[in-house]
Amino acid sequence: MYLWFKLIHIFFIISWFAGLFYLPRIYVNLAQVSPQAEPAEYARLLCMAQRLYKFMAPLGYGALIFGIAIPFAAGWWDQGWVHTKLLLGLLLLGYQHICRAHLRCFEQQACRHSHKFYRFFNEIPVLLMAAALYLVVFKPF
């Protein structure tokens, strides 16, 4: 079962991260477009962001479910790195929910952040992914 769980987990992770990486890039563009000056462009980008969020949101839960199943199947539950990796997964799920809050602000045309903010915001999942990969590869504790 371990290999099946691992395969499914990797599938969910790849798909989810595609959304986690791209959604804030759409936010960068949305923050640069005035909804009053360019309503068609704003509506197009907003629609892209809404569809992407609806696609990626369930993938995060799938990644987390199989990320929890793997340590049980492999007998790793007592290793500290597993708990830290699961914490990173929960942080990424929290990031996803923060993305939803930003999407709501764009839907209400009430975004107060600049495109520069979203450029930095976009780097958070990269850093969390790097930390999770380190834990999986090196199993430091």
Long-range contact pairs involving 44-50 (C-beta distance under 8 Å, separation at least 24): 46/106, 46/107, 49/23, 49/103, 49/106, 50/103, 50/107
- 77, 71 Cβ separation under 8 angstroms: yes
- 53, 23 Cβ separation under 8 angstroms: yes
- Residue 9 in marked binding region: yes
3-state secondary structure of 104: helix
- Residue 54 in marked binding region: no
The annotation places the binding site at 9, 85
The annotation places the binding site for heme at 9, 85
